[in-house]
Amino acid sequence: MKVELRQVAHSRSGDKGNTLNVAVITYEPVLYPIIKLQVTVERISKCYSGIFEGTVVRYEVDRLGVLNFVFEKALDGGVSRTLRLDSYGKALSSRVLTLPIDISNDHMKYLRSWVT
């Protein structure tokens, strides 16, 4: 079954100069292998296409159930150099949560049902 990533994980973001990081954090440890398999650099790059100019690197924090993506050249030069509305990139973390994820029927019980 396809669900949005937001039903199995939440996200946080941070920035430093022209670099953005977006972390995807699973709600349940049992869901982490699914996210790790499906939330790839390729899918993230496509999801954020047109927003960044550099590379994306994925860091896996397996013991915490976290994937951290670091985007180079993502903030149009950084806070003091851009006219972008969200020069800090804080709103960009919610974009990743729209990614569709395939989960099995066995994992349905771990979904956050309050999210529609």
Residue ranges of E strands in 1-116? 2-4, 9-16, 19-26, 56-61, 66-71, 100-102
| pLDDT (0 to 100) of residue 115 | 47
| pTM for this entry | 0.82
* Calpha distance 100→106 (Å, rounded): 17
Report the chain's mean pLDDT, rounded to a whole number: 82
What does the domain layout of the chain look like in residue ranges? 2-108
More reliable by pLDDT, 13 or 43: 43
- Would you place residue 59 in the very low, low, confident or very high pLDDT band (cuts 50, 70, 90)? very high
pLDDT tens track for 102-115: 999 888 888 876 54
| pLDDT (0 to 100) of residue 79 | 54
Q: How many CA atoms lie within 13 A of 58 on its CB side?
A: 16
